[in-house]
Amino acid sequence: MLEYQYWTHRRSGDTYAVEIINGQVVGACGLLYYKHYQDYPEKMSEIEYNREDGEWVQNNKDDFRLEES
């Protein structure tokens, strides 16, 4: 199953858009510099995700929290 979420790094407060397939982060885009969630892209599927950043987020997922919009 494919899904998209916004995750925030617990220590730095930096927010990333993440692409998840079957529970695994496979792509990430960040740092995002939007001030409010209403400013974020409407279609997360149109964001350009980086596989290396996704691997880093997946390997450090306990350092992140899911952002509730």
Residue boundaries of the structural domains of the chain: 1-24+31-52
C-beta separation of 48 from 32 below 8 A: no
Give the containing element (helix H, strand E) for 54.
helix 51-59
In this predicted model, which residue has the larger pLDDT, 69 or 44? 44
Residue 60 has pLDDT above 70, yes or no: yes
Give every strand in the sheet of 15-21, ordered side by side. 24-32, 15-21, 2-9, 64-66
Question: In Å, how far are 20, 46 from 66, measured between CA atoms?
Answer: 12, 20
Q: What is the pLDDT of residue 42?
A: 78
pTM above 0.75, yes or no: yes
pLDDT digits over 1-47, tens only?
A: 999 999 999 999 999 999 999 999 999 998 887 666 666 777 899 89
In this predicted model, which residue has the larger pLDDT, 1 or 67? 1
